[in-house]
Amino acid sequence: MEGSSEPLLDAKTKVTNQLVDFQWKLGMAVSSDSCRSLKYPYVAVMLKVADQSGQVKSKSFEMTIPQFQNFYRQFKEIAAIIETV
């Protein structure tokens, strides 16, 4: 995502985690303690990732619709590259 401080992977990096489950849901923020009416859509993403020992950890985060569309596009690009390997 934009502004992420996550390190970038290069071609020599060995990835040791495996995506086990990916779920998402569309939500609508309608109010908060500080705002009476927000009314903006968001996407909640829930991931389950297994490390090399097999321990599964859950991670979750929220994105705006444009962020999710970009995330989805990047996932499709990665999938297309993986299919050619």
Within-domain flag for 45? yes
Within-domain flag for 7? no
**Model confidence at 37: pLDDT above 80:** no
Within-domain flag for 24? yes
- Mean pLDDT value of segment 24-44: 80
Within-domain flag for 56? yes
Specify the pLDDT at position 2: 47
Specify the pLDDT at position 14: 67
Within-domain flag for 6? no
pTM: 0.64
Task: For residues 18 and 56, give the distance between their C-alpha atoms in angstroms, rounded to a whole number.
Answer: 9
CATH number for the domain that contains residue 29: 3.10.450
Domain count for the chain: 1
The closest of 21, 20, 41 to 29, measured between CA atoms, is 41
Within-domain flag for 49? yes
Q: Which domain covers residue 38, as residue numbers?
A: 18-84
Task: For residues 50 and 72, give the distance between their C-alpha atoms in angstroms, rounded to a whole number.
Answer: 21
- Mean pLDDT value of segment 27-42: 76
Specify the pLDDT at position 7: 56
pLDDT 10s digits, 66-75: 999 999 999 8
